[in-house]
Amino acid sequence: MGNEFAGIVEACGAGVSRFAPGQRVFARTGKERMGAFAEYACEAEQNLAAIPDGLSFEQAAAIPLAGLTALQALRDELHLGPGSRVFIPGGAGGVGTFAIRIAKWLGAHVATTASPRGRALVEQLGADEVIDYESEAFEDRLSGYDGAFDLIGSDTLSRCFDVVRPGGMVVSVAGLPEPQTASKDLDRGAVLRAMFWLASWRLRAQARRNGVTYRFLFMHPSGTELAELGTLAEAGLLTPVIDRVLPFAQIDQALADLEAGHAKGKIVVSLQAAG
């Protein structure tokens, strides 16, 4: 198990040209083979990026999955730019803490949801509007947004369609996959497309009624984009928010804490942390 890691290159395969033993690197692992929860991992060169000097291993390990997901959703799918307005439900978690700052970096106005426990954090990250999801319905306050980036799924995802203007787009990473997820993200054929078409039928019908596009993104690894995120982090624009660092021996606890769904930023597991 384990989708992302930071470490030191131990050895390189014959065709590797961009990295050398001793170099500090980080990666979101290839989708066909995970295996980051380990002392040694084997990773394809194109998924790796060098860790900038100003970042620790713990900081670097917190970036790949959440950072790439946010970058790909906000820049490649929603095409945010200066003046865009985006709604990001679930701003205090692993993906959300990156998403708020990447959306601000792209020039967008950002509305998000957080409980009172997460409000100070999302405000500090730059959210322009914060709605307490425990006491208020966000769709009563927000409308006419260019896009929504859903991190929660289920009922929250359905309600996002009321926030976005006709012609806009809802991108989810927590809802149900749709046909493009099969062809564009997973490089699969007609059978999986058909299954995802069926799975997302109700959501796509709702999107159509509102004149909005629905997209479920399954993010992809990219060493090039990871290098971009590393540069932003080193410049202080995207310092990873780390909820806590646990020793490797407590990896089961880290997973249980994540599953509880209340992490503020990322939970990192370290081989060096004291047990």
Ligand X SMILES: NC(=O)c1ccc[n+]([C@@H]2O[C@H](COP(=O)([O-])OP(=O)(O)OC[C@H]3O[C@@H](n4cnc5c(N)ncnc54)[C@H](OP(=O)(O)O)[C@@H]3O)[C@@H](O)[C@H]2O)c1
Enumerate binding residues for ligand X (CB under 6 A). Answer: 65-66, 69, 89-90, 92-96, 113-115, 117-118, 133, 151-152, 156, 173-174, 217-219, 258, 261-264
Q: Distance between CA atoms of 269 and 255, rounded to whole angstroms? A: 10
**Residue position matching structure tokens 């909820």:** 243
Q: Which is nearer to ligand X, 57 or 133 (CB)?
A: 133
**Torsion region of 143: left, alpha or beta (phi above 0 gives left; psi -120 to 50 gives alpha):** beta
Nearest-CB residue for ligand X: 93
Which residues neighbour 195 within 8 Å (Cβ) at sequence distance 6 or greater?
Answer: 182
* CB 93 to ligand X: min, Å: 2
3-state secondary structure of 240: coil
* CB 65 to ligand X: min, Å: 5
Phi and psi at 35, nearest 5°, equal 85, 25
Q: Which is nearer to ligand X, 10 or 140 (CB)?
A: 140
DSSP codes joined into one string, 129-144: EEEETTT--HHHH--S
Q: Distance between CA atoms of 236 and 77, rounded to whole angstroms? A: 25
